[in-house]
Amino acid sequence: MAAGAALRALRTLLRRGPHATPGSLPVPGARVPPPAASCVSSPPWRSSSVRTLQLSRAACAGHNKWSKVKNIKGPKDEARGRMFMKFGMLIKIAVKEGGPNPDMNLNLAQVLEQCRSKNMPKAAVEAAIKSAEKAKPASQHMFEARGPAGYLLLIEVLSDNNTRTHQDIKRVLTKNRAALSDGARHNFNRRGVVLVPGENVSTERAVELAIEAGAEDVQETEDEEERPLLQFICDMAEVRKVRASLEQLGMPITSAGLEFVPRTLCTLDQEQLDAASTLIEALNDCPDVVRVWDNIQADG
């Protein structure tokens, strides 16, 4: 019995560490109180929990960072890729209509200039021209549509499967309360359009530039980033002449090409504008859609 009590006392002394003294040994047969909690060292589970929490926070930080990259960079890359795909389709149409030589093909030259202004890689442009020459036959179509507020749309497509494209266009229109509408094209004229930056150019000066350059009309518009632009409208055969004249007058050229210009405009309020923008974006997301023309103007 005495030997057992002495052994238990020795174990207690070892548990209490090097600062324990023999006088602190319990009396044989007495109840041994639990060791006092230390105020210095943390129990093992706590340090493990802290490490786990720190790792968890690090993982969350990385996830949040990736989310920001994904939410910002991802859509931009996607939009950039979609834009280059549309340019490739424009190149195919231009090559199909006038051949692969931009010196002899005004429409192709204008498309290539737009590609350069949007920093489309030269290799991608050259590949698009070569593939356009070798591509399997594809037909170019223009769908006519009317939006829920009465505005008109021309939807230019390039497709090797007309049935599929027709179904895609119709599905998007129906989802956005729009519909195909024969006759919408009669509200548009095919014209030459030269765009120049509109900052610091008064209305009077814009009219003077139009007269001096030989344009038929000049209108104010905006680019994708809502920067002001001046749109000089002319006959299709006069695009190069108007462009050259504007350059001689010291105006930087944003783009020059052939567009469908509406004869009459449809005024929309902000809610209608938002709905129309959603529809046009959805149409542009269709893989066979090249461009969408409209006769929309903002109210006020």
Q: What is the CATH number of the domain that holds 111?
A: 1.10.10.200
285: amino acid identity, one letter: D
Q: Look at residues 195, 192, 221 and name the one whose alpha carbon lies nearest to residue 209.
A: 195
Which of 135, 158, 180 represents a domain boundary (last residue)? Answer: 135
At how many degrees (to 10) do helices 203-213 and 239-248 cross?
A: 120
Q: How far apart are CA 158 and CA 179, in angstroms?
A: 20
Domain assignment of residue 219, yes or no: yes
Same domain? For 231 and 94 the reply is: no
Same domain? For 123 and 238 the reply is: no
Same domain? For 264 and 196 the reply is: yes
| The residue to which tokens 């006038």 are assigned | 98
Domain assignment of residue 19, yes or no: no
What are the pLDDT tens digits along the chain (300 aa)? 555 555 565 565 555 555 445 554 455 555 555 554 444 444 444 334 433 333 333 333 333 433 444 444 455 667 677 778 888 888 888 888 788 888 888 778 878 887 887 788 888 888 888 887 776 667 788 999 999 999 999 999 988 888 999 999 999 999 999 999 999 999 999 999 999 999 889 989 999 999 999 999 999 888 777 789 999 999 988 988 999 999 999 999 988 888 899 999 999 999 999 999 999 999 998 988 988 999 998 886
Which of 135, 157, 180 represents a domain boundary (last residue)? Answer: 135
Q: How many domains does the chain have?
A: 2
Which of 84, 119, 135 represents a domain boundary (last residue)? Answer: 135
Q: How far apart are CA 252 and CA 200, in angstroms?
A: 13
Give 246's contacts (C-beta < 8 A, 6+ positions apart).
194, 196, 209, 213, 232, 253
Q: Where are the beta strands (DSSP E) in 179-241?
A: 179-180, 188-197, 217-222, 228-234
How far is the CA of 284 from the CAs of 211, 244, 278, in angstroms?
A: 35, 32, 10
Q: Which structural domain, as residue segments, surrounds residue 125?
A: 73-135
